[in-house]
Amino acid sequence: MATTNDIKNGTVLKLDGQLWTIIEFQHVKPGKGGAFVRTKMKNVLSGKTVDKTFNAGLKIETANVDKRDMQYLYKDGEDFVFMDTSTYDQITVPAATVGDAADYMLESQSALVATNEGVPLYVELPPSVVLEITYTEPGLQGDRSTGGTKPATLETGAQIQVPLFLEQGTKVKVDTRDGSYLGRVND
């Protein structure tokens, strides 16, 4: 058990049997009345975000979340298999838990896997990854300055928008949070 004074960004709380991560918090001490803590919380499993206010000094239950660097090994049906790089233990993570991260994961890539009492909660990738374009329409000569984009399919099967001059086989840097094109990578 902890109190509202222990709240900081990234703290995981257990409320009504569900796990919530603190995204933002603010201790407020009004001129009149008792102090309170205003928080913005994200449900660890569903991703839903809510605002909640706690009275200062209130006892709250924190959850122990174990974040480990793991290596993505392979896809097993709908599930993804990760290996803990320090103990070589393997863990199976359901596709729903991996979510959009699957669009940017290649085999043997490392990722941060968060678990609570052995149950995988979410998978966190590095902010950007380098992937190869496996298919895109050919660009037209002279299209370099218009700033237009076209769809491109990456080696993971995900589709992103890239500048018109990029061609098939080009390696690009992709933002894993929103799937945006960050630049071309020269080998």
Please check the confidence at residue 170 and state whether its pLDDT lies above 60.
yes
* Average of per-residue pLDDT across 109-137: 87
User: Quick one: average pLDDT of 134-151?
Assistant: 73
Q: What percent of the chain has pLDDT over 90?
A: 15
Q: Is the pLDDT of residue 144 over 60?
A: no
Question: Higher-confidence residue: 3 or 145?
Answer: 3
How far is 22 from 59, CA to CA, in rounded Å? 16
Predicted structure pTM score: 0.69
Whole-angstrom Cα distance, residue 142 to residue 156? Answer: 30
pLDDT value for 143: 53
- Tens of pLDDT, residues 57-104: 889 888 888 888 999 999 888 899 999 988 889 999 888 888 888 888
Give the pLDDT confidence of 118-129 residue by residue, as tens digits.
888 888 888 888
Is the pLDDT at 141 greater than 70? The verdict is: no
| pLDDT at residue number 50 | 92
Of the pLDDT bands very low, low, confident and very high (cuts 50, 70, 90), residue 142 is low
Q: What is the mean pLDDT of the chain?
A: 86
For the chain, list the domains and their CATH numbers: 2-60 (2.30.30.30), 66-124 (2.40.50.140), 128-185 (2.40.50.140)
